[in-house]
Structure 1
Amino acid sequence: MPVAQKAVVATTSPREFIVRHLALFAAAALFVFVLSLTYGLDLSPGFF
């Protein structure tokens, strides 16, 4: 493990680590959901 990463791991609590990863997972899920809503939507320049 790189030295900088060791410092980050040492300064974060397990709860903060879990919350951060849950937030990242939720953001990724929201991004995929928004992409699925736009599936098939015509965004070509002629559409506007």
Structure 2
Amino acid sequence: MTALAQAFSRVFLSTSDQFDDLKTIALFCGAGLLVSLPLMLTYGVDLSPGFF
């Protein structure tokens, strides 16, 4: 969690680059993929307590 927090702070605090807007968009797209990929991989799989 600390590494994620540091990565977010580095991306949002870097103001010397002209591509700040693109970095922000790429960060949110990456976060969306990070959330949606596991959901897509488990689609149709019964994840009830009996599975474990």
- Structural RMSD (CA): 2.2
* Distance in 2 separating the partners of 1:39 and 1:45: 16
Q: Shift of the alpha carbon at 1:24?
A: 0.7
Identical aligned residues as a percent: 41
Q: Considering only CA atoms, is the larger Rg found in Structure 1 or Structure 2? A: 1
Instruction: Please report how far the alpha carbon of residue 14 of structure 1 lies from its aligned counterpart in structure 2 after TM superposition.
Output: 4.8
Aligned residues: 38
Q: 1:19 aligns with which of 20, 23, 46?
A: 23
1:40 aligned residue: 44
Residue type of the partner of 1:26? G
Provide structure 2 residue ranges, at least 5 long, that are not aligned to the other structure.
1-14
Structure with greater contact order relative to length (CA < 8 Å, sep ≥ 6): 2
Runs of 4+ deviating beyond 4 Å:
none
Q: TM-score, normalised by structure 1?
A: 0.52
